[in-house]
Structure 1
Amino acid sequence: MTPKITALAITLNEEQNIERYIKSLHFADEIIIVDSFSNDKTVEIAKNLNVKVIQNKFIDFSSQRNFAINQASNDWILFFDLDEYVTDDLRNEIIENISTPNGKVAFFIKRQFNFLGKKINFGGWQNDKAARVFNKKYCKFEGLVHESLKIDGQFGKLKHKLNHESYNSFDLYNAKLNLYSKLQAEKLYAKKLKPNAYHFLFRPFYRFTWQYVYRLGFLDGKEGFILAYVHGFAVFKRYLQLWMKYRKLD
């Protein structure tokens, strides 16, 4: 017998993705959207599709995800991002594995990263995976920005990939990285780290080189270069925002 499933998502201005997300998870017994007070049609679309919407102030990613988990009626959780798409094969594999978990309390899924309409196969993305299916009794999120799932028990890996349809708009993707940079700057400020030339010059250059050269991002063509560049620049923005916090600048 298949246990009941709750599908969760945290949202902010996701009107372009929310309908696809909800329809792809039609097999879940419960769908809950925790929204950070979107100012577009995200909430309206979700409510029209008869899913539960709760609005909650965003503090950091782990807090928001853990808040969402606490709203779930069922133990087994599907927690995908809005730019991730569940295929029929993956859906069937999820149901099969949580029906007979064999002692496992979470499952990792490999992600096929797509950027600006192109499949990205290098730059570190080739090893991308995330725990998206888990039993809430044994798992919780930790970390302010690149949050990770702390798993108290055994975990497995699913065979079918998750389509990670990342932003088709450069501006939207850059805005996402800007949010990450801001949250990371706040974390470093709390640790009383003061940025210097090493942080402004070496750290961004290292991030670009690691992604574009050492992780073979150049094999993805211009999209690989753009990804390495914006991620390197996001590192620079992290320390710029940290520097501004010390000078009480907005």
Structure 2
Amino acid sequence: MQREPLSVVVITLNNAATLDACLSGVDWADEIVVLDSGSSDDTLAIAQRRGARVATHAFDEFGPQKQRAIDMASHDWILNLDADEVLSPASRAVIERALTNPQYAGFRLPRRERMFWTVQHPWSWRNTHLRLYDRRRGRMNDVEVHSAMEVDGPVKTLWRADFINDSDPDIASRIERINRYSSALVAHKLRRRQRFTGLRMVVYPPVFFLRQYLFKRYFLNGWAGFIASVVGANYVFLKYAKLHEARRCGHGRPPV
């Protein structure tokens, strides 16, 4: 029995350093769609060399931009990757089996994180993400930064079809990213009217660290796992600290 045809969609902006590895890992797909938002490096040349169908559109938010790329695809089954993510070689066979008469609306894939000078130990906990799905049964949500596909129907995790996130080659890069992300999430949290911000600032960071370092077994990654857990706890703190600041200062405007 033949599998469902598959489109891979990727949004880009100056991703020349990682895009070639990303696209080479999915060169077996029926189609690759790259939606760029104004790259000034070799991103577009790399995408074209890899046989991708390339288009450009000004960037507004992650959710709408990813949805545009999905809408461009020729096939209903979508594999959505970021430009700094690489599918493992063993994932192809797992995905192709899953797409042979699929009984689910989508599939979650486990993600291994780059931890600065190393890659996450395979025995530490890997978060799963809905990246393979039938676009007829869902759309991207509107959560700033952490936008994700939401589908109507059952979802299964393909534990043997993992991918590596290669976004943070060093500590400075991760800290810069969490600073940007925590700022971008303030508007979303204001809309949700999240309560007990002060309590969350105090309680959540140490709880996050313990959960990450001990229960998710980041200690298996040595000092890289310890540092990643501390930086992650700082991200949790910054999200609520910036929300508290926005409320005290009138949504980010200092009081006169």
- Report the equivalent of 2:26: 25
Following TM superposition, by how much is the alpha carbon of 1:126 offset from its aligned partner in structure 2, in angstroms?
Answer: 0.8
Which AA in structure 1 matches 2:253?
A: K
> In 2, distance between residues paired with 1:232 and 1:159?
26
Q: What are the ranges of 5 or more consecutive residues in structure 2 without an aligned counterpart?
A: none
Q: Deviations over 1:127-178 (max 9, x none)?
A: 4212221111112222333333322123333242313143323233333322
Asked whether the equivalents of residues 91 and 162 of structure 2 are also in contact (C-alpha less than 8 Å), the reply is yes
Which AA in structure 1 matches 2:50?
A: L
Give the secondary structure class of the aligned counterpart of 1:77: strand
> In 1, distance between residues paired with 2:122 and 2:5?
37
> In 1, distance between residues paired with 2:122 and 2:199?
27
Q: What are the ranges of 5 or more consecutive residues in structure 1 without an aligned counterpart?
A: none
- Report the equivalent of 1:58: 59
> In 2, distance between residues paired with 1:88 and 1:200?
41
Correspondence 1:149 to 2:149: yes
- Report the equivalent of 1:205: 206
Asked whether the equivalents of residues 84 and 162 of structure 1 are also in contact (C-alpha less than 8 Å), the reply is no
- Report the equivalent of 1:138: 137
Change (3 A) 1:247 1:139: closer
Instruction: State the identity %.
Output: 24
Following TM superposition, by how much is the alpha carbon of 1:217 offset from its aligned partner in structure 2, in angstroms?
Answer: 3.0
Give the secondary structure class of the aligned counterpart of 2:11: strand
TM-score (norm 1): 0.83
- Report the equivalent of 2:114: 114
Asked whether the equivalents of residues 7 and 32 of structure 2 are also in contact (C-alpha less than 8 Å), the reply is yes
- Report the equivalent of 2:128: 129
Change (3 A) 1:136 1:192: closer
| Aligned-pair Cα RMSD in Å | 2.8
Asked whether the equivalents of residues 122 and 216 of structure 1 are also in contact (C-alpha less than 8 Å), the reply is no
1:248 to 237, 243, 253: 253
Which AA in structure 2 matches 1:147?
A: S
> In 1, distance between residues paired with 2:101 and 2:155?
13
> In 1, distance between residues paired with 2:95 and 2:252?
50
Asked whether the equivalents of residues 90 and 161 of structure 1 are also in contact (C-alpha less than 8 Å), the reply is yes
> In 2, distance between residues paired with 1:213 and 1:128?
15
> In 2, distance between residues paired with 1:175 and 1:55?
26
TM-score (norm 2): 0.81
Change (3 A) 1:12 1:235: farther
> In 2, distance between residues paired with 1:151 and 1:104?
10
Task: Provide the aligned length of Structure 1 versus Structure 2.
Answer: 247
- Report the equivalent of 2:230: 229
Following TM superposition, by how much is the alpha carbon of 1:227 offset from its aligned partner in structure 2, in angstroms?
Answer: 0.8
